[in-house]
Amino acid sequence: MRTLTRSILAGVAVMALASGAVVAQTALTKVPAEVRAGTYKLDAEHGKITWSVDHLGLSTYAGQFVNVEAELRLDPANPSASSLTATIPLTAVDSNSAGLDRHLQTADFFDTANHPTATFVSRSVTVDADDPTEATVVGELTLRGVTRPVTMEVEFNAAGEMRGAYKAGFDGEATIRRSEFGITFGQQMGLGDEVDLHLEGEFVLQP
């Protein structure tokens, strides 16, 4: 009898946990208009920028920037009033090669002795008329002291309460030409000029 009772109680506990998991999952919304308005800060542990570039025609080489700081001012009722700013520490780059990471700090590439960070400031946010989960963000990227316009295609993933905090998650894609920022090292050898950027971020609503 005790064994049967324990089995029943265990079954009830599993059902309760499963029910809680379903509630947590359904608490997330994928409808942009339902997202809370306000100022959000990027959760640095769940935010990064992955870059990729053609490596001499042999492969597509990729790396990441981490420890990115970003602030999102979100107005779902009036998306065009939303804005995004970001600061990228160029020393926090991971290319899976310690030698390349060091080389990227030099004047051949980022010149971090003089320009330790890159910054992005949005100038406009335009939501896709056919899909409210997608938007075009146009802004200015400053890298090595040079500022150029950049267009980023952004997709809203979901938002909701996560472990005591309200979060909103997004992915973004952009392509830049490094030569426009004075980075031309290796082009004569076939190192790509176009750099694809994939941005991933979970933003936390501030009190």
The number of domains in the chain is 1
Residue 9: pLDDT band (50, 70, 90) is: very low
The stretch 176-197 carries a mean pLDDT of: 96
Coil/strand/helix, residue 158: strand
- 171 DSSP β-pair partners: 155, 200
User: Are 110 and 144 in contact, with CB atoms under 8 Å apart?
Assistant: yes
Tell me, what CATH number does 177's domain have?
A: 2.40.128.110
**Which pLDDT tens digit goes with each residue over 66-121?**
999 999 999 999 999 999 999 999 999 999 999 999 999 999 999 999 999 999 99
Domain membership flag for residue 5: no
Contact 203, 46 (CB under 8 A): no
What single letter denotes the amino acid at residue 141? L
**Taking 70 as the threshold, does the pLDDT of residue 129 lie above it?**
yes
Q: Find the mean pLDDT for residues 44-49.
A: 95
**d(Cα 134, Cα 125) in Å, to the nearest integer?**
10
C-alpha to C-alpha distance for 146 and 167, rounded to whole angstroms: 33
> Could you tell me if residue 3 is inside a domain?
no
Of residues 126, 100, 94, 95, the one with CA closest to residue 186: 100
Is residue 18 assigned to a domain?
no
Domain presence at residue 8: no
Pull the structure tokens for residue 82. 């939303």
How many Å apart are CA 12 and CA 151, to the nearest integer? 52
Residue 44 is part of which domain span? 31-205
- Confidence band, pLDDT 50/70/90 cuts, at residue 144: very high
Q: Is residue 69 included in any domain, yes or no?
A: yes
Say if 21 falls within a structural domain: no
Query: Considering Cα of 184, then 186, then 191, then 197, what sign does the dihedral take?
Result: negative
pLDDT at 27: 84
d(CA 40, CA 207): 9
Q: Is 62 part of any domain?
A: yes
Whole-number Cα distances in Å, 191 to 91, 92, 111, 149, 196: 21, 22, 18, 23, 13
Examine residue 2 and state whether it is found in any structural domain, yes or no.
no
Contacts of 71 (CB under 8 A, 6+ apart): 39, 40, 41, 42, 84, 85, 86
